[in-house]
Structure 1
Amino acid sequence: MANKGINVYNFVTKKLVNLIDMEGNVLHSINLDRKNEIRGYSQKSEFCKNGDIVCYFRDKMVARIDWNGLHKWQIKTRAHHDFDIRPNEQIYILTRKDSVMRWRFLPVPVLEDMIYVISPEGKYQKTIGFLEPLKKDIPPKTVLRLYCRMIHPLNLAKIMWKMLKAKRIFKASSVFDIMHTNSVDVSEKNVPGLCSKDDILISIRDMNLVVIYSPKKSDFVWKWGPGEISGQHHAQFQENGNIMLFDNGTCRGIPVRNFSRVIEINPKTKQIEWEYTESPKEKFFTTGGGENQKLPNGNVLITETCTGRVFEVTTDGRKVWEFYNPHNKDGNKLRATIPRMFRIVNPQDYRHIRDLEH
């Protein structure tokens, strides 16, 4: 049986947040850009208890918006991919900047990911960087590929021109984006033998790496992934102490065909304790995105981003709910993507949402 609730997802091309019931009926929509002033799009929105939503516009800003679409505050930053709202409504959001790191005495230009911490009132509080402890995991071939691209005369000229114009130099998904961090989840409790409260679970996609970073120690206290996962998204702490993530499987290698899976691992043993795939395996696959949410009844809500499909499965792999995006991409017949869907299973705890018919 499906775990009932209200489902929330971003309709990316229209800059809308849709709340739908279990039958797919739209209960409420919030226009994130009522004045049509913001270039770019938002892939994630999350509700606060008073009915406001926090969202980001990629590489533009993070904002808090009320139930009617009015912006309460904005912070300009190169926000991207993911954020975590803590119980006190403090926001930990991924952002990035052009940077130069020292790698084995070499200056290496990179697009550096980091975390901004923002107060509920929209005030910047601090930056948490994690590139320094990551250096030992960066393979030499990555640096070599980067340098080969950088010293090409045309690319070097572009870099110099952008520097003179004070423009952003490095783009996401370029050779300089060696991290491509895509999820952040802050631990709200001490987990003996693993991590402490306030430590941060981070997915670093382009290194096939998931880490737990300790701001107090300025170092990783746990890491896992290379050789096991490929292009992963949405690593999340679970109540039982495990970690669940979406393993996209973008480069599994010949002769294995690419397929995606959702896995739950025991971080202490580094063993996979639960896995969801389909049959045949390649039937379930998304090159980008991907989301997983453990529901109170034990089921898992899964977003297959690129196909615009969301479904709910039981622990034994039975599908008990499924939703396809009813919208097409602008100007063609392809189904629009769903970056991620989240189910609010306790709507009574949220202002406005508790009043929706569902």
Structure 2
Amino acid sequence: MRLQNTGLLIHDEERATQGFTLFSPLMQDQVYLLNMKGDVVHEWTVNGNAYGYAYLLPNGNLLASALAPDAKREDREGMRYILEWDWNGRIIWQCEAPGQHHDFVRLANGNTSFLGFERLSKRAAGRVRGGLKGTEIDGEYILGDYIREVTPRGEVDWEWRSEINMEIEKFPLHDFTSREEFSHANSIFDLNGSGYLISSRRSSILFMIDRETKHVTWSRHEEHWGGQHDAQILENGNLLFFANGFKTQGVGLPYSQVIEMNWKTGEEVWTYRGDPPWTFNSPHISGCQRLASGNTLICEGLWGRIFEITPKGEIVWEYISPYEGWISRGGGNGNWIFRALRYMPNSPQIGGRLSL
């Protein structure tokens, strides 16, 4: 892995946004909450942590996904669970989530929505365009995505399926990606109950779906996004996402970006790159969060790096995870992080439980 120091590297007390930073090392069972000094002030254990991602609910509870006890991490269609832990680490709610992957969200009505894999029919798989020929799973089938909303009792309240609800031919895979999965959604953002914003890594496409009709109402593809992650709508109505820059052509050395875009016009109104650009590069995972101060928290996932920048791109807080673990993809140890989030001291998620 890249030679680096770990722990807290930078803390500009005057310009950094005060709060607590939540993250979970990929392929590990711990979820950590850090103070601004980089100290762990609280943690949870998520046995079988499926995707190294968790977040705090307004009641202070933790929502995360986990593998079923007999499930194998490499089995993408295997059983997972979405679980809710209280502050003291007790499981107070869970639901089955077969094939669950990447993202999930607790909705305002109390339902929980999540992404999952399901096998495409042969007819639907035959409609998938692009990708490297002959790279289907076992040379036979392709996985598609579904979105499922479940009630607090675990009952399915609504479902969207890429096989049925997408015009598959209009969303071709990147020429240099495998045909194991169609779309490979990696984030789901709730549009205030009216639908969802979805990020599709293998096509470098962002799209919105309408909850009532289940139709795709907006989409945009840009080659230079390179398998983007963590798409979200800001309070100003713009899109914010992490553009990984994976397998992009004609850009020289690969690099990543964080992009704020007016999705109605397509104008990129703000962009962060490294200086020089190739010093900021995570070809997969990763995320971003616009903070109340106007600063942006960024997770450069491949390197276990979480840092905060001003609107001008100045780094005012930086932390690199010291937690290494076995990474199954390619083998070897790594300190990867899928996503990180910061919570303000007066937020309902913290709720006076901690002080800076």
- Pairs within 5 Å for 1:152-301: 175-188=179-192, 197-254=193-250, 256-301=252-297
Shift of 1:105: 7.8
**More displaced, 91-100 or 264-273?**
91-100
Taking a change above 3 Å as real, the CA distance of residues 106 and 95 of structure 1, as seen in their structure-2 partners, is closer
Shift of 1:334: 5.5
Cα deviations across residues 49-108 of structure 1 (Å, max 9, x unaligned)?
Answer: 222211112652211222232222332321111112223332221111112163598699
Q: Alignment partner of 1:289: what SS? A: coil
Q: Which residue of 2 aligns with 1:349?
A: 348
What amino acid does structure 2 have at the position aligned with 1:176? E
Q: Which residue of 2 aligns with 1:316?
A: 312
Shift of 1:329: 2.8
Q: Alignment partner of 2:169: what SS? A: helix
Q: Which residue of 2 aligns with 1:115?
A: 147
Q: Which has the higher contact order (CA 8 A, sep 6+)?
A: 2
Cα deviations across residues 17-63 of structure 1 (Å, max 9, x unaligned)?
Answer: 11110111111111112xxxx4x634211222222211112652211
- Corresponding residue to 1:86 among 107, 117, 124: 107
Taking a change above 3 Å as real, the CA distance of residues 209 and 313 of structure 1, as seen in their structure-2 partners, is same
What amino acid does structure 2 have at the position aligned with 1:51? G
**More displaced, 96-105 or 328-337?**
328-337
- Tell me if structure 2 keeps the 8 A contact 1:299–1:314: yes
Q: Does 1:130 align with 2:159?
A: no
Cα deviations across residues 282-333 of structure 1 (Å, max 9, x unaligned)?
Answer: 1000111111100011111000001000101111111111111022235999
Taking a change above 3 Å as real, the CA distance of residues 186 and 321 of structure 1, as seen in their structure-2 partners, is same
Taking a change above 3 Å as real, the CA distance of residues 288 and 174 of structure 1, as seen in their structure-2 partners, is same
Q: Does 1:67 align with 2:76?
A: no
Q: Which residue of 2 aligns with 1:24?
A: 38
Q: Counterparts of 1:325 and 1:258 in 2: how far apart (Å)?
A: 23
State the TM-score, normalized to the length of structure 1: 0.80
Q: Which residue of 1 aligns with 2:52?
A: 43
Q: Which residue of 1 aligns with 2:5?
A: none
Taking a change above 3 Å as real, the CA distance of residues 105 and 308 of structure 1, as seen in their structure-2 partners, is closer
- Tell me if structure 2 keeps the 8 A contact 1:208–1:231: yes
Q: Which residue of 1 aligns with 2:71?
A: none
What amino acid does structure 1 have at the position aligned with 2:323? H
Taking a change above 3 Å as real, the CA distance of residues 231 and 298 of structure 1, as seen in their structure-2 partners, is same
Q: Counterparts of 1:69 and 1:98 in 2: how far apart (Å)?
A: 34
What amino acid does structure 1 have at the position aligned with 2:113? Y
Unaligned runs of 5+ in 1: 146-172, 189-196
Q: Alignment partner of 2:158: what SS? A: strand
Q: Counterparts of 1:140 and 1:72 in 2: how far apart (Å)?
A: 40
Taking a change above 3 Å as real, the CA distance of residues 295 and 223 of structure 1, as seen in their structure-2 partners, is same
Higher strand share: 2
Q: Does 1:3 align with 2:12?
A: no
Q: Counterparts of 1:183 and 1:318 in 2: how far apart (Å)?
A: 27
What amino acid does structure 2 have at the position aligned with 1:130? S
What amino acid does structure 1 have at the position aligned with 2:266? K
- Tell me if structure 1 keeps the 8 A contact 2:299–2:339: yes
Count matched residues.
Answer: 315
Q: Which residue of 2 aligns with 1:158?
A: none
Shift of 1:199: 1.9
